[in-house]
Amino acid sequence: MIAIGGRRLLAAVNPAACAAGLAPGMPLADALSFLPGLAAVPAEPAADAAALLRLAEWCGRYSPWTAPDGTDGVKIEITGCGHLWGGEAALAADLASRLGRQGLTHRIAIAGTLGAAWALARFAARSGGPAFAHPDDTSEALAPLPVEALRLDPPTVAGLRRVGLRRIGELYPMPRAALGRRFGASVAQRLDQALDRLPEPLSPLEPAPTRRVRLSFAEPISEPADLARAANRLTENLAHWLAREGVGARRLDLAFLRVDGQVEHIRLGTARASRDAGHLAALFAARLETIDPGLGVEDMILAAYRVEPLAIEQTGLAGTGVDTAEAGLAPLIDRLGIRLGPGALSCLEARASHIPERASVNAVIGEDGKTPIIPGRGAAANPEPMNTGSADLARRVFLGSGLGPAGRPGMTKKKAGASTGKAPRPVRLFRPPEPIEAMFVVPDDPPFRFTWRRRSHAVARADGPERIAEEWWQPDATGAAAAVRDYYRVEDAEGRRFWLFRAGLGEQPHWFLHGVFA
């Protein structure tokens, strides 16, 4: 039952209602007059679509190329898959029996083109048995079907009927030009698609995997140990194929097809192309506990979605470690990533910025599918390591006149380029900077005492200021005076060294502690 424009219409009817003369599209009021005891429930198109999507996914057991079709169908590209099931008829029979077990009424058709299969499924197949059309007999099979079977919009169908064209076969002898002039290009196009004169690609639900291996079970399995064993066998099988093709997988998907038609997935990426069955199996094993097998899993499908060339490696004797030398850190990064979660692993990446927190960022490894830089390898080849990069880029303004009384003890002004050449940076940097309560004599001076984390520190010595202004060329620049920071390196009486800054230039500046020096 759906509500359209204030009227309530029937969206779908069951066989009993159909027998009583009800049909989709009929107003509910009329239907109730036919059948006073009619049980009507609101339609849930979203839930229907989700269920259809799930069904399409489940059909992945027959072929990787599946997709929902409209609101009431699933298309499966089974080219090259039939023989795995002992022929197309056996495949259809298997599909029918499994759908029947799930309590789904269905009509199955297998044909040479998407259009022909669509027509046959809806207009030729009966619930009892599937309809077949051999590619050579497509036109004969379609000829007796009504023109609606060509996937045309209702006005076009009405137009065809008005001129007496009721069956598809009646369109065959018609001149194309006349058809096109009168009914638009869609009739000829659909006809050609159904008869395999025009190609019609099927866009699959998932991108087509590069390599896929499947394991079906005679009895549904649900024990974790069984699932783990099956995952091991699949990874071994996949690794075998990947090795033959000289590639390694970067993105993998292990699908668990449950008896009840639900599909569970473990998707993972690897830091480096891998076809090491043991390694991949261990990655899956770490995630197996997230899988709910429900009443049982009847199929498992392992697909490699992204592969990269991987040279054939000399596999060492057990324990000689040749494999680890070749793979480098990638297996370790994969294992850590699996347990610690996405985003836990990062590299320190130098950026061209003089704002301290932007000069070095934690770049998450494996994000955006980008290949992580495995440090160490080739680190020596990098002619310009970070320690010469960011610090030199930092724009430092040393204030000449902003300092307090020149003779004040415990304070100095360092000239740019004095002694070390670059201002020291703390080993620990707090993000965001932690606010402190500072006591100062003149706003331009470093504080003589500050309180950080409820502990008071007396400043014994200080260096600075180092003025770091906002990056005015960045889109998020505010231009506010508070964005200007004056950094001071201070040492307390105990000898601990801190990096403080004063935000803003006004009479009431805010002080922050940004880092701790070693």
Partner 1 sequence: MPPLLTLDALRDQVRHIENPQMTRHGVLPFGVEAIDRALPGGGLALGALHEILGAGGDEEDGAAAAGFTAGILARLTNSLESRISPQPSPRLNGPTEAPRENAAVISLRSLRGREARSEPAYPHSPRPNGVGSTLSRIAGEGADGRSPEAGEGAILWCLKRPDVYGPGLAGHGLDPARLVIAAAKRDDDILWAMEEGLRTGRAAGLAGVVGEIGRLPMVAGRRLQLAAESSGVTAFLLRRWRNAAEAAGERGRPTAAVTRWRVAALPSAGIADEPGIGRPLWRLELLRCRAGVPAAWIVESADATGHVCLAAELADRPAMPRRTVADAPVRRAG
Please, which of residues 397-456 interact with partner 1 by CB under 8 A? Answer: 409-414, 424-431, 453, 455
281 binds partner 1 (CB under 8 A): no
Q: What's the min distance (Å) between Cβ of 445 and partner 1?
A: 13
Asked whether 120 and 112 are in contact (CB, 8 A), the reply is: no
Q: Which is nearer to partner 1, 75 or 467 (CB)?
A: 467
What is the SS3 assignment for 466? strand
- Among residues 288, 285, 272, 247, the alpha carbon closest in space to that of 332 is found at 272
**Residues 214-233, interacting with partner 1 (CB under 8 A):** none
Interatomic CA distance for residues 431 and 484, integer angstroms: 17
517 binds partner 1 (CB under 8 A): yes
Helix axes 185-194, 176-183, angle to 10 degrees: 130
373 binds partner 1 (CB under 8 A): yes
Q: What's the min distance (Å) between Cβ of 517 and partner 1?
A: 6
Joined tokens for residue 429: 């940097």
Q: Which is nearer to partner 1, 180 or 328 (CB)?
A: 328
Q: Which residues contact 220 (CB under 8 A, 6 or more apart)?
A: 258, 259, 295, 296, 297, 298
378 binds partner 1 (CB under 8 A): yes
Q: What's the min distance (Å) between Cβ of 341 and partner 1?
A: 9
- Among residues 154, 120, 166, 165, the alpha carbon closest in space to that of 175 is found at 165
Q: Which is nearer to partner 1, 18 or 322 (CB)?
A: 322
Q: What's the min distance (Å) between Cβ of 352 and partner 1?
A: 13
Q: What's the min distance (Å) between Cβ of 58 and partner 1?
A: 36
269 binds partner 1 (CB under 8 A): no
Q: Is the peptide bond before 465 cis (omega within 30 degrees of 0)?
A: yes
**Residues 465-504, interacting with partner 1 (CB under 8 A):** 489-491, 493-497
Interatomic CA distance for residues 125 and 382, integer angstroms: 67
Joined tokens for residue 42: 């609101």
Q: What's the min distance (Å) between Cβ of 424 and partner 1?
A: 6
DSSP per residue over 259-323, as a string?
TTS-EEEEEEEEEEEE--HHHHHHHHHHHGGG---TT-EEEEEEEEEEEEE-----PPSTTS-HH
Q: What's the min distance (Å) between Cβ of 249 and partner 1?
A: 19
Q: Among 463, 466, 470, 486, indicate the residue that binds partner 1 (CB under 8 A).
A: 463
**Residues 166-205, interacting with partner 1 (CB under 8 A):** none
Q: What's the min distance (Å) between Cβ of 356 and partner 1?
A: 8
**Residues 330-369, interacting with partner 1 (CB under 8 A):** 331-333, 335-336, 339-340, 343-350, 356, 359-360, 362, 365
For 227, the enclosing helix (H) or strand (E) is helix 224-245
Q: Which is nearer to partner 1, 413 or 510 (CB)?
A: 413
Q: Among 156, 235, 274, 390, indicate the residue that binds partner 1 (CB under 8 A).
A: 390
Q: Among 43, 81, 243, 386, indicate the residue that binds partner 1 (CB under 8 A).
A: 386
Helical residues (DSSP H) of 20-69, grouped into ranges: 28-34, 45-58
Q: What's the min distance (Å) between Cβ of 17 and partner 1?
A: 57
Q: Which is nearer to partner 1, 205 or 285 (CB)?
A: 285
Q: What is the DSSP secondary structure assignment for residue 64, as one 8-state letter?
A: S
What is the SS3 assignment for 105? coil
329 binds partner 1 (CB under 8 A): yes
Q: Which is nearer to partner 1, 140 or 349 (CB)?
A: 349
Q: Which residues contact 228 (CB under 8 A, 6 or more apart)?
A: 285, 288
**Residues 303-322, interacting with partner 1 (CB under 8 A):** 319-321
Within a 10 A sphere around the Cβ of 333, how many other Cβ atoms?
Answer: 18
Q: Which is nearer to partner 1, 104 or 348 (CB)?
A: 348
Q: What's the min distance (Å) between Cβ of 340 and partner 1?
A: 5
| One-letter amino acid for residue 78 of the chain | I
Q: Which is nearer to partner 1, 233 or 422 (CB)?
A: 422
What is the SS3 assignment for 83? helix
| One-letter amino acid for residue 70 of the chain | G
Q: What's the min distance (Å) between Cβ of 515 and partner 1?
A: 6
379 binds partner 1 (CB under 8 A): yes
267 binds partner 1 (CB under 8 A): no
Interatomic CA distance for residues 423 and 359, integer angstroms: 14
- Among residues 51, 202, 32, the alpha carbon closest in space to that of 113 is found at 202
Q: Which is nearer to partner 1, 102 or 320 (CB)?
A: 320
282 binds partner 1 (CB under 8 A): no
Residue with tokens 């995997």: 209
Q: What's the min distance (Å) between Cβ of 228 and partner 1?
A: 20
Interatomic CA distance for residues 260 and 297, integer angstroms: 9
Q: Which is nearer to partner 1, 88 or 357 (CB)?
A: 357
383 binds partner 1 (CB under 8 A): no
Joined tokens for residue 436: 């402190």
- Which window, 153-161, 167-175, 284-292, 386-394, contacts partner 1 (CB under 8 A)? 386-394
Instruction: State the pairing for strand pair 411-412/485-492.
Output: unpaired
